[in-house]
Amino acid sequence: MIVGIPKEIKNNESRVGMTPAGVFELVKNNHTVYVQSGAGEGSGFFDEDYQQVGATILETIQEVYAISEMIVKVKEPISAEYPLVKKGQIVFTYFHFASSEALTRAMMDSGATCIAYETVEDEDGTLPLLTPMSEVAGRMAIQQGAKYLEKPKKGRGVLLGGVPGVAPGKVLVLGAGTVGIQAAKMAAGLGAHVTILDVNMKRLRYVNDVMPSHVVTEFSNEFNIRKHIKTHDLIIGGVLIKGAKAPKLISKEMLDDMRPGTVIVDVAVDQGGCIETTKPTTHEDPTYIINDVVHYCVANMPGAVPYTSTVALTNVTLPYVLKLANMGWRSACNLDKSLSKGLNIVEGEIVYKEIIEAFNLEPVLV
């Protein structure tokens, strides 16, 4: 198969759809790979790195789309890319169709087959191509939180690990899912005292089993949240109710109970946030202050660490890319039920129930 890796042109996106390691595997499997010049630079991979493993570099994005049978990228195509996607092409990337009718209509019109990373789903309901980004964001939440706890950043002036003779900082983690566990692990590693809350007892039992004793689990309810926000320095929002807006666990009025300089990192901002005062921010201007509480609510946290994010993402996408290239999308999806859940548009027809419902489209049988 001819596989194309275009440069991401969405604002502030430095990740790339495939690393040289991925190209190496494709070439080893007798596929031809075209990479747009400079596509990997933002993530620290240069044209020579791709050439060395057998890719051909093309200057323009138009050339990459025109020659490729499958496009592998990171973000959904933006309007400048719509006319480049062609009939019969496979596009494998994050799409989030339900949030854009324009994108949905453009991909239907193109006649392409669109396989969305975010809906590839394992048998146990987990989303293997979203997990690595939650892992990145969870770990990063503590790094950012620690930074904004510093006085010049308007925080309480607390060092999370403390020092001999001074108690460590206290971190409250809301949600013991992928984000929450990674955040708790990083905070514990720094020596902070960690309290982690969830409504799922299985998750709490797991955390209790695997974490050190300075990570304490408690059931998530309003009483416990009200109690802990008074004494914790850093609060991480990592709750998710699948397919729904995040529940608001901390109201505006509850900020009055927090000490000045408390820091909130609401990772769940992309689902509306679990704090009433959350509003999305960017890496250029990541924080704002309400009632002396610092809010960090960047909606694409992994974008700040493109090297790690690219490698983490392509580690999990590559096995699917190889299946698609080796067998074609029909056989690959017939054999791999997880991958088949990623099929959102097949040769221009929407096949994903939630998108059909979102835009009142006619259902199609495939």
Ligand X SMILES: NC(=O)c1ccc[n+]([C@@H]2O[C@H](COP(=O)([O-])OP(=O)(O)OC[C@H]3O[C@@H](n4cnc5c(N)ncnc54)[C@H](O)[C@@H]3O)[C@@H](O)[C@H]2O)c1
- Tokens coding 26: 């494709």
Contact at 8 Å (CB) between 166 and 155?
no
Q: Which of 47, 49, 96, 257 is catalytic?
A: 96
Of 14, 36, 113, 134, which lies in the binding site for ligand X, with binding defined by CB under 6 A?
134
CA distance 364 to 32: 33
Q: 35 or 173, CB closer to ligand X? A: 173
Stretch that binds ligand X, among 15-23, 37-45, 62-70, 192-200 (CB under 6 A): 192-200
Say which amino acid occupies 73: K
Smallest gap from residue 345 Cβ to ligand X (A): 23
Residue 129 contacts ligand X per CB under 6 A: no
Check if 96 is active-site: yes
Smallest gap from residue 10 Cβ to ligand X (A): 15
Residue 177 contacts ligand X per CB under 6 A: yes
Q: Which of 198, 233, 266, 270 is catalytic?
A: 270
CA distance 220 to 261: 24
Q: 82 or 94, CB closer to ligand X? A: 94
Q: Which long-range contacts link 82-91 to residues 24+ away (Cβ below 8 Å)?
A: 82/106, 82/107, 82/110, 85/110, 85/112, 86/110, 86/111, 86/112, 87/111, 87/112, 87/347, 87/348, 88/112, 88/113, 88/347, 89/65, 89/113, 90/115, 90/324, 90/329, 91/115
Contact at 8 Å (CB) between 168 and 194?
no
Smallest gap from residue 134 Cβ to ligand X (A): 3
Check if 285 is active-site: no
Residue 199 contacts ligand X per CB under 6 A: yes
CA distance 140 to 123: 28
Q: 176 or 293, CB closer to ligand X? A: 176
Smallest gap from residue 338 Cβ to ligand X (A): 17
Gyration radius (Cα) of the chain, Å = 22
Q: Cα(first)–Cα(last) distance of the chain, in Å? A: 23
Could you say which residues in the range 256-285 bind ligand X, by CB under 6 A? Answer: 267-271
Nearest to 250 by CA among 276, 218, 232, 278: 276
Residue 355 contacts ligand X per CB under 6 A: no
Of 33, 90, 137, 236, which lies in the binding site for ligand X, with binding defined by CB under 6 A?
137
Of 29, 60, 200, 315, which lies in the binding site for ligand X, with binding defined by CB under 6 A?
200
Of 179, 229, 254, 324, which lies in the binding site for ligand X, with binding defined by CB under 6 A?
179
Q: 31 or 232, CB closer to ligand X? A: 232
Of 36, 220, 278, 310, which lies in the binding site for ligand X, with binding defined by CB under 6 A?
220
Stretch that binds ligand X, among 8-16, 41-49, 72-80, 129-137 (CB under 6 A): 129-137
Of 40, 169, 175, 306, which lies in the binding site for ligand X, with binding defined by CB under 6 A?
175
Residue 204 contacts ligand X per CB under 6 A: no
Residue 299 contacts ligand X per CB under 6 A: yes
CA distance 65 to 47: 18
- Give me the residue whose beta carbon is nearest to ligand X: 177
CA distance 185 to 238: 13
Number of residues that bind ligand X (CB under 6 A): 33
Smallest gap from residue 266 Cβ to ligand X (A): 8
Stretch that binds ligand X, among 112-120, 297-305, 321-329, 335-343 (CB under 6 A): 297-305
Of 3, 35, 149, 240, which lies in the binding site for ligand X, with binding defined by CB under 6 A?
240
Contact footprint for ligand X (CB under 6 A): 133-134, 137, 174-180, 197-200, 203, 220, 238-241, 246-247, 249, 267-271, 298-302
Active site residues: 96, 270
